[in-house]
């Protein structure tokens, strides 16, 4: 019996070795021959309407037990591969939206499968710790080899969280704490502050505010929602604090043809930000921090220039407010740099950077100065919840980071991104009445249609022909592909898009 166990162990470890070798070879192959190394289909296949009959049946069953208003179709995740998502009706779509921008390496990537099979990772998958109180022995090592190895320049502190919104939520609290510490000089809380804190009254709960931007999206929990200004349905009937909301620049395209106008637009936005900070300060509701996306995603892929962000940072410095860059959607290499704000040439790091989506785990980086430091209170419980992230996701992130580095995926994003934007611009030149404002950085690209109806029509036409793409803003289509998205995928999109546009003329 013992021999049998031993020989099967040997067999398993030989298999694991072979598996590891295979994964390594595939990765190298990925660098040489193409990154979609996982038997990707050669193109989309559409057999039924989407959603098809099986999807509709499952939708009916699900709808009996929960709200299904947002469900698009049911997915066969086992059959989905690389850049292709398979549905339960046998349709296979080129996925340019990837679970709302959150699939870094495509479906069923062998590196992730391999990570699941490694014996040393097993414990992380089956034991979910309360990380704030009982972290596992390898936690420091895991954080260093994953998150800290890709930390934005100048940022040494990291906090994991479960999702995007709760990362934003806790990063906002961190800005409030830092502001308050500056105001009080770091002195311990008074008895009155302690008493009033639990009943939502000042001075324990001071009337501090956060400045956010029109068309920003930061999540749907209450603090994050207070800074979200995209669709009314996200906010309707929820009480919201009276915090300052500034205008985010609305640049005109092509940029080269509107330089002066765009500069004036950004100047006026910066002026408004200054005025709002002054106004709220005078009102006794000072701005503790500013939250901004490096590129507004959900709000319609709105870009601002590097100079705008540099001036924004100057304003935070002059006024003593914090600067939180929300990179939940723009992080993890999609713009061709690991963090989108690295494109802005900021003179110093932002104070906080939130992440989630493709990063597998939520969380935020911060500078030393923003690390909770109050005296005389239980510091560990100021930014805290039960799980505070998930080591199983960090195991996958470790794998992801090593694939990104080994396969030079940032380079792939830059190359594919340049090809993608030039392809969209070519389509724009062929269909100037339908495709407007082609724009992008890396593969984080988008274009507008003249109306919401036209946008929705094109989105559905693309889906019918096997391309899954995302909507944003009022009339935008946005590309949120994987990091292994390549030129031949762009060609497939272009062919299908062109034939769909011809039918719309
Ligand atoms: C910039 C940004 N911040 C925060 C969030 C919220 O993330 P989650 O949906 O994981 O709560 C999103 C989600 O789309 C986002 O795009």
pLDDT tens-digit readout, 7-24: 333 333 433 333 343 334
Mean pLDDT of 107-129: 96
- Nearest CA to 286 out of 202, 381, 191 is that of 202
Is it true that 38-95+407-504 and 131-404 share their CATH fold? no
pLDDT of residue 37: 55
Our answer to whether residue 423 is catalytic in this structure is: no
- 93 touches 44 (CB < 8 A): yes
CA distance 50 to 45: 12
Mean pLDDT of 234-257: 97
Our answer to whether residue 242 is catalytic in this structure is: no
Is residue 77 scored above 60 in pLDDT? yes
- 141 touches 343 (CB < 8 A): no
Is residue 347 scored above 80 in pLDDT? yes
φ and ψ of 436, to 5 deg: -125, 155
**Is any atom of ligand 1 closer than 6 Å to the C-beta of 219?**
yes
CA 59 to chain centre: 27
Our answer to whether residue 357 is catalytic in this structure is: yes
CA distance 308 to 4: 68
CA distance 249 to 311: 13
Confidence grade of residue 187 (pLDDT, cut at 50, 70, 90): confident
Quick: pLDDT tens for 119-148: 999 999 999 999 999 999 999 999 999 999
Mean pLDDT of 427-450: 98
**Is any atom of ligand 1 closer than 6 Å to the C-beta of 298?**
yes
SS (H, E, C) 44-102: CECCCCCCCHHHHHHHHHHHCCCCCCCCCCCECCCCCEECEEEECCCCEEEECCHHHHC
pLDDT of residue 15: 35
Query: Residue 363 carries which DSSP code?
Result: E
Our answer to whether residue 173 is catalytic in this structure is: no
Mutate to test the pocket of ligand 1, among 98, 101, 162, 165 (most ligand atoms within 8 A of CB): 165
Among 14, 190, 386, 495, the active-site one is 386
**Is any atom of ligand 1 closer than 6 Å to the C-beta of 217?**
yes
Is residue 5 scored above 60 in pLDDT? no
Query: Residue 403: enclosing H or E segment and its boundaries?
Result: helix 391-406
Is residue 157 scored above 50 in pLDDT? yes
**Is any atom of ligand 1 closer than 6 Å to the C-beta of 150?**
no
Is residue 482 scored above 80 in pLDDT? yes
CA distance 158 to 422: 37
**Is any atom of ligand 1 closer than 6 Å to the C-beta of 152?**
no
CA of 419 to the centre of ligand 1 (A): 27
| Cβ atoms within 10 Å, residue 42 | 8
State the sign of the Cα–Cα–Cα–Cα dihedral 482, 487, 489, 491: positive
pLDDT of residue 188: 87
pLDDT of residue 115: 96
DSSP 3-state assignment of 457? Answer: helix
Name the residue at shortest CA distance from atom 8 of ligand 1.
164
CA of 1 to the centre of ligand 1 (A): 53
**Is any atom of ligand 1 closer than 6 Å to the C-beta of 351?**
no
CA of 353 to the centre of ligand 1 (A): 13
Q: Point out the ligand 1 atom lying closest to the alpha carbon of residue 101.
A: 14
- The pair of structure tokens assigned to 5 is 């166990």
Fold of 38-95+407-504: 3.90.1150
Burial 130-154 (b: 16+ CB within 10 A, else e): ebbeebeebbeebbeebbeebbbee
Mutate to test the pocket of ligand 1, among 294, 325, 329, 385 (most ligand atoms within 8 A of CB): 329
Confidence grade of residue 379 (pLDDT, cut at 50, 70, 90): confident
pLDDT of residue 39: 84
Mean pLDDT of 361-371: 97
CA distance 130 to 123: 14
Query: Residue 235 carries which DSSP code?
Result: T
Name the residue at shortest CA distance from atom 4 of ligand 1.
218
Mean pLDDT of 77-90: 98
φ and ψ of 468, to 5 deg: -100, 120
433-434-440 Cα angle (round to 5): 115
- The pair of structure tokens assigned to 70 is 């947002």
Q: How far is CA 314 from CA 250, 260, 451, in A?
A: 21, 22, 37
Is the CATH number of domain 131-404 3.40.350.10? no
CA of 45 to the centre of ligand 1 (A): 31
**Is any atom of ligand 1 closer than 6 Å to the C-beta of 353?**
no
**Is any atom of ligand 1 closer than 6 Å to the C-beta of 294?**
no
Beta carbons within 8 Å of 225's beta carbon, 6+ residues apart: 165, 218, 219, 234, 235, 238, 240
**In whole numbers, what is the pLDDT of the chain averaged over residues?**
92
Is residue 463 scored above 90 in pLDDT? yes
CA of 321 to the centre of ligand 1 (A): 23
CA of 227 to the centre of ligand 1 (A): 12
Mean pLDDT of 441-458: 98
Query: Residue 234: enclosing H or E segment and its boundaries?
Result: none
Percent of all residues in the chain with a pLDDT value above 90, rounded to a whole number = 89
Full strand arrangement of the beta sheet holding 467-468: 84-86, 92-95, 467-468
CA of 170 to the centre of ligand 1 (A): 13
CA distance 381 to 213: 30
- Strand pairing class (209-213; 287-292): parallel
Mean pLDDT of 404-424: 98
**Is any atom of ligand 1 closer than 6 Å to the C-beta of 168?**
yes
Among 112, 213, 217, 493, the active-site one is 217
Confidence grade of residue 33 (pLDDT, cut at 50, 70, 90): very low
| Cβ atoms within 10 Å, residue 205 | 14
Name the residue at shortest CA distance from atom 13 of ligand 1.
219
Write down how long the chain is: 505
**Is any atom of ligand 1 closer than 6 Å to the C-beta of 301?**
no
Confidence grade of residue 1 (pLDDT, cut at 50, 70, 90): very low
Mean pLDDT of 476-500: 98
CA distance 301 to 298: 7
Is residue 363 scored above 90 in pLDDT? yes
**Is any atom of ligand 1 closer than 6 Å to the C-beta of 167?**
no
Domain residue ranges in the chain: 1-33, 38-95+407-504, 131-404
145-95-483 Cα angle (round to 5): 30
Confidence grade of residue 25 (pLDDT, cut at 50, 70, 90): very low
**Is any atom of ligand 1 closer than 6 Å to the C-beta of 218?**
yes
Q: Point out the ligand 1 atom lying closest to the alpha carbon of residue 216.
A: 1
């Amino acid at each position: 019996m013992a021999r049998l166990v031993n020989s099967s162990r040997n067999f398993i470890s030989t298999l694991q070795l072979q598996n590891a070798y295979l994964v390594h070879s595939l990765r190298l192959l990925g660098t040489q021959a193409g990154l979609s190394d996982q038997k990707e289909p050669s193109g989309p296949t559409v057999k039924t309407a989407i959603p098809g009959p099986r999807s509709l049946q499952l939708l009916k069953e699900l709808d009996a037990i929960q709200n299904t208003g947002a469900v698009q179709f049911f997915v066969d995740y086992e059959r989905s591969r690389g850049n292709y998502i398979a549905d339960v009706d046998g349709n296979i779509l080129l996925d340019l939206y990837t679970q709302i921008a959150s699939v870094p390496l495509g479906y069923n990537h062998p590196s992730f499968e391999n990570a699941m099979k490694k014996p040393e990772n097993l414990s992380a998958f089956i034991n979910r710790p309360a990380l704030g109180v009982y972290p596992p022995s390898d936690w420091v090592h895991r954080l260093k080899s994953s998150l800290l190895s890709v930390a934005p320049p100048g940022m040494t502190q990291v906090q994991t969280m479960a999702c995007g919104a709760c990362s934003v939520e806790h990063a906002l609290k961190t800005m409030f704490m830092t502001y308050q510490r500056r105001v009080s000089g770091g002195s311990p809380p008074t008895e009155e502050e302690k008493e009033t804190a639990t009943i939502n009254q000042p001075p324990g709960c001071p009337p501090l505010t956060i400045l956010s931007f029109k068309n920003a999206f930061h999540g749907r929990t209450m603090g994050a929602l207070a800074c979200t200004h995209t669709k009314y349905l996200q906010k309707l009937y929820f009480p919201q604090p009276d915090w300052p909301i500034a205008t985010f620049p609305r640049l005109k395209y092509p940029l080269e043809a509107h330089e002066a106008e765009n500069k004036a637009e950004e100047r006026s936005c910066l002026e408004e930000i200054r005025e709002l900070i002054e106004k709220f300060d005078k009102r006794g509701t000072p701005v503790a921090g500013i939250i901004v996306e490096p590129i507004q995603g959900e709000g319609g892929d709105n870009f601002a220039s590097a100079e705008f962000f540099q001036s924004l940072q100057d304003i935070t410095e002059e006024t003593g407010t914090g600067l939180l860059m929300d990179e939940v959607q723009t992080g993890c290499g999609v713009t061709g740099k690991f963090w989108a704000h690295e494109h802005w040439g900021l003179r110093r790091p932002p104070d906080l950077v939130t992440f989630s989506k493709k990063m597998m785990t939520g969380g935020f980086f911060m500078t030393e100065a923003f690390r909770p430091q109050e005296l005389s209170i239980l510091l560990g419980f100021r930014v805290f919840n039960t799980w505070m992230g998930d080591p199983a996701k960090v195991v996958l992130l470790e794998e992801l980071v090593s694939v990104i580095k080994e396969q030079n995926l940032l380079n792939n994003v830059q190359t594919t991104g340049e090809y993608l934007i030039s392809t969209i611009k070519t389509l724009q030149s062929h269909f100037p009445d339908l495709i407007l404002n082609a724009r992008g950085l890396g593969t984080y690209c988008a274009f507008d249609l003249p109306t919401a109806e036209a946008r929705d029509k094109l989105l559905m036409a693309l889906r019918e022909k096997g391309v899954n793409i995302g909507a944003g803003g009022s009339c935008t289509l946005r590309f949120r592909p994987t990091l292994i998205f390549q030129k031949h995928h762009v060609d497939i999109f272009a062919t299908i898009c062109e034939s769909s546009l011809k039918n719309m003329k």
